[in-house]
Structure 1
């Protein structure tokens, strides 16, 4: 983090700060950073360590940055950015750490087919429901589509109803 706070101009500092925070827990193939990739990744690692050592408490993170002895205007700017994106950072951290231990669902959606009569339902041979799930793990993001027929849908409804 020292190298970011020691950049020449305020504009470059602001741009690099936003870049580090926007991709803190994600890897970007193309980086718009003026820093070298190694320096950029090291800054991200240091910030991740700071946040985790402060037990994800924003007040402790801000205190730590204020006690570092860096330029106060830059510290205020950086801590304001952290406050602005804190919930996104916590969500990204949660997804990052959870996905290291297995598949984590980040989003889902479904498509339902409408049936206008019981006679059509009895002879149904195509899926009633299509479930679209987005997951992440160590290797990256996956999109999975499940086609669910009427028998599987009934089982799924029964399981969900019996959850207490």
Structure 2
């Protein structure tokens, strides 16, 4: 058994967790998934994101990370629970996710620098309350959005 550092979003300290291949010993198992719709026009991206936990255990708290290939403008209003975490990264708190449930919808309107013809947004889990997720394919999304105003589902 080896020890590894696990960052806690929003905390200054690092938590130490005993880990084995496939996850932390004794940690609850959950299956987070992200689905939604994104569109871009005139340098503005509209994103609606639904977070789901397929279970079997509840997640006490979760945070989703959004990475943009084009930098958002520096000053813009973000919804409650969302913060900038770098030039091209945003974090949004999902909160508690009961097993086999859907969390609140996260809606973002992000203004990008300039008016790029396309942007790639990568969506993944930044924090899942220490749960083990053995199905990582559905909580990692990468969407290429063209500046046509068309909606892209993921």
TM-score, normalization: structure 2?
Answer: 0.21
Max radius of gyration: which structure? 1
By percentage of residues, which structure has more strand?
2
More helix by share: 1
